[in-house]
Amino acid sequence: MGTGKSSVGRLLAERIGFRYLDLDALIVAGEGISINEIFARHGEPHFRKLETEAVRRIAREVRCVVSTGGGAVIAPENRLLLREAGVVVNLTASVDEVCRRLREETDRPLLKDDRSEERIAAMMAEREQFYADAELRIDTTGKSVEDVVAEIIGYLEGIGWVSKR
């Protein structure tokens, strides 16, 4: 949450000529209600089930950049599918930076009752073991979207996934 996944994903897709897919947006489109409503009506387990179904679908796609929600990689099946489909990049940021970026956000159901720095730090710590499974990790604190995208492209060029420009 708040690390720049959507902004970076959109620009990365544009720069390398891939399609951009946002996992949460696909779930919302499929359900016809917001993520907040899914959580409120059906709970987090139902949302996680929808998330895994969406990951299964997008894992078959080619030439696309996918932004997942911060909790998508908790499920072992999702991590496996994403790794098999391509390069998994984890964007991180300091707790202070995430708090600053999420200050005005209202569509974060896991933070609806507690948006404190302590809550965000605890969530990040709980998820760290899953985030650490990514092939490439980039701290976005103090970096522009363009800088992060350039870093990812450099990595992808280095492993032969995209052509050097």
Question: What's the mean pLDDT when you consider all of the chain?
Answer: 91
The model's pLDDT over 67-106, given as tens digits with 9 standing for 90+, comes to 998 889 999 999 999 999 999 999 999 999 888 877 766 5
Q: State pTM to two decimals.
A: 0.89
For residue 130, count other CB atoms closer than 10 A to its CB: 18
| pLDDT (tens digit per residue) in 96-131 | 988 887 776 656 555 566 567 888 889 889 999 999
In a domain? residue 162:
no
Identify the CATH number of the domain in which residue 124 sits. Answer: 3.40.50.300
When computed from its CA atoms, the radius of gyration of the chain, rounded to whole angstroms, is 16
Tell whether 37 is covered by a domain.
yes
Return the pLDDT at 100: 84
Q: Is residue 18 part of a domain?
A: yes
- In DSSP terms, 91 is beta-bridged to 138
Number of domains composing the chain: 1
Residue 158's pLDDT band (cuts 50, 70, 90): very high
Amino acid at 91: L
Q: Report which of 111, 123, 102, 114 is spatially closest to residue 39, judged by C-alpha positions.
A: 111
For residues 77 and 103, give the distance between their C-alpha atoms in angstroms, rounded to a whole number: 32
Range of the domain at 134: 5-152
Q: What is the mean predicted confidence (pLDDT) over 42-59?
A: 96
Per-residue model confidence (pLDDT) at position 112: 64
pLDDT (average), residues 139-164: 94
Q: Is residue 79, in this structure, part of any structural domain at all?
A: yes
Q: Distance between CA atoms of 101 and 143, rounded to whole angstroms?
A: 13
Give which of 39, 81, 33, 46 is closest to 61, Cα–Cα: 81
Q: Assess whether pLDDT exceeds 70 at residue 148.
A: yes
3-state secondary structure of 7: helix
pLDDT of 14 over the 80 cut: yes
> Strands 19-22 and 64-67: what pairing?
parallel
